[in-house]
Amino acid sequence: MPGGGGTPDLAMGGGGDAAPPANCGGGGAEITAVPPCANAGMATTVDVPRGCAPTVDGTLHASEWSDGACFVAGNGGGALTIRMKYAGDALYLAASGDPTCGCGMPFHFDPDGGMTLEGDEFLVILADDPFGADGDRSDFVAQNGKFTMGSAPAGIVTAGPPNMPAPVRSEWKIPLADLGITPGQAHTFRFAVNHAGQTWPATLQLAQSSNFSSTPATWGQVLSSTSWK
Residues contributing to the site for Ca ion (CB under 5 A):
55, 57, 59, 110, 112, 114, 120
Closest-approach residue to Ca ion (CB): 114
Closest distance to Ca ion from the beta carbon of 68 (Å): 12
Q: How far is the CB of 124 from Ca ion (least distance, A)?
A: 16
Rounded to a whole number of angstroms, the minimum distance from the CB of residue 76 to Ca ion is 27
CB 53 within 8 A of CB 72: no
Closer to Ca ion at the Cβ: 11 or 217? 217
- CA–CA dist 199, 34 (Å, integer): 17
> Which is nearer to Ca ion, 74 or 111 (by Cβ)?
111
Q: Are 165 and 30 in contact (CB under 8 A)?
A: no
What's CA 211's distance to the chain center, in Å?
A: 17
CB of residue 112 to Ca ion, shortest distance in Å: 4
Nearer to Ca ion, 67 or 120 (CB): 120
CB-wise, 74 or 169, nearer to Ca ion?
Answer: 169
Task: Give the helix ranges, DSSP H, for 62-171.
Answer: 62-65
CB of 115 to Ca ion, least distance (A): 8
Spatial contact of 37 and 66, defined as CB atoms under 8 Å apart? no
Residue whose CB is less far from Ca ion, 50 or 190 = 190
The smaller minimum CB distance to Ca ion, of residues 65 and 200, is found at 65
217-221: Cβ within 8 A, 24+ apart: 217/115, 217/116, 218/192, 219/108, 219/110, 219/190, 219/191, 219/192, 220/43, 220/44, 220/45, 220/46, 220/190, 220/191, 220/192, 221/44, 221/45, 221/46, 221/113, 221/188, 221/189, 221/190, 221/191
Q: Please state, in angstroms and rounded to a whole number, the distance separating the CA atoms of residues 115 and 217.
A: 4
